[in-house]
Amino acid sequence: VAGLLSGKRALVMGVANNHSIAWGVARALSAAGAEIAFTYQGEALGKRVRPLAEQLGSDIVLPCDVEDLASVDRTFAALKDKWGSLDILIHAIGFSNKNELKGRYADTSRENFSRTMVISAFSFTELVRRAAEMMPNGGAAITLTYGGSTRVMPNYNVMGVAKAALEASVRYLAVDYGPQGIRVNAISAGPVRTLAGAGIADARLMYDFQRRHAPLRRTVTIDEIGGSALYLASELSGGVTGEVHFVDSGYNIISMPDPRSLQV
């Protein structure tokens, strides 16, 4: 894959630390020759992201809180200043109040519903709109989603509803930006141990269940998610847009666990 993305510029949003899915994606894009710019949310994470960016030879590391429109505007103004144009946008951002990632979905508060929707779903639309202005030669936008969007996963609750909205946005954005040669896709990843993942109650049970019952009998790595992102970001997937691509060891095809996976 060396050189597959040479001359391309990617903005990677959502690295919190070296366990982040966005970090796996950044590494894969960088290994294929892309130049990477990073954003981080808040100075505490900035301290972690800067040395990671350095590892990939990147010196564009910008603060961005997607809940704050002025912050988003500042980020893109700064990026435009540095680069002028952009080829790839990676959106690996999600948030919901931890207290509502347990128990019943029915008990979700209005306040957390709105906040979860804005940060985890609407931010993608807002970021694609800004990124597209910097993509005169077409490009690729990729977001991260989870199978809790279409099927009920215990405790995923309002985040599942937000992921459903995010996946629908992928399809609408694909239609809006297709004529400009901008492809919009989502990766639906299986459970990964990250900061965000740890916010979901009984996350360990989800990892263990996946490991036992997915067709590949294991969870996925951030490098595997990075590999699929590289495909979606490059001309290898030139004819693909509006898709939700599963990178989940095949878990999504399962209805009932295979009796053989129930034997210890």
Catalytic residue numbers read 146, 156
Min dist. Cβ of residue 39 to ligand NAD (A): 7
CA distances from 19 to 24, 57, 75, 117 (A): 8, 19, 24, 24
Residue 144 binds to ligand NAD (criterion: CB under 6 A): yes
Residue 146 binds to ligand NAD (criterion: CB under 6 A): yes
Min dist. Cβ of residue 6 to ligand NAD (A): 26
Min dist. Cβ of residue 111 to ligand NAD (A): 15
Which residue, 89 or 189, has its beta carbon nearer to ligand NAD?
189
Place of tokens 């952009």: 86
State phi, psi for 245 to the nearest 5 degrees: -105, 120
Which residue, 37 or 119, has its beta carbon nearer to ligand NAD?
119
CA dihedral angle for residue 124, residue 125, residue 126, residue 128, rounded to 10 degrees: 80
Task: Count the residues of the shown chain that bind ligand NAD, applying the rule CB under 6 A.
Answer: 27
- What span, in angstroms and rounded, lies between the C-alpha atoms of 261 and 217? 8
If DSSP codes are grouped into helix, strand and coil, which group holds residue 234?
coil
- Kindly report the CA angle at 244 between 239 and 245, in degrees rounded to 5? 80
- What span, in angstroms and rounded, lies between the C-alpha atoms of 23 and 54? 12
Which residue, 4 or 163, has its beta carbon nearer to ligand NAD?
163
Residues shown for the chain: 264
- Show the site string, 88-117: x = touches ligand NAD by CB under 6 A, - = not: ----xxxx----------------------
Min dist. Cβ of residue 128 to ligand NAD (A): 15
Residue 76 binds to ligand NAD (criterion: CB under 6 A): no
> What residues contact residue 51 under an 8 Å CB cut-off, 6+ apart?
none
Which residue, 139 or 199, has its beta carbon nearer to ligand NAD?
199
Binding footprint of ligand NAD on the chain (CB under 6 A): 14-16, 20-22, 41, 45, 64-67, 92-95, 119, 144-146, 189, 191-192, 194-197
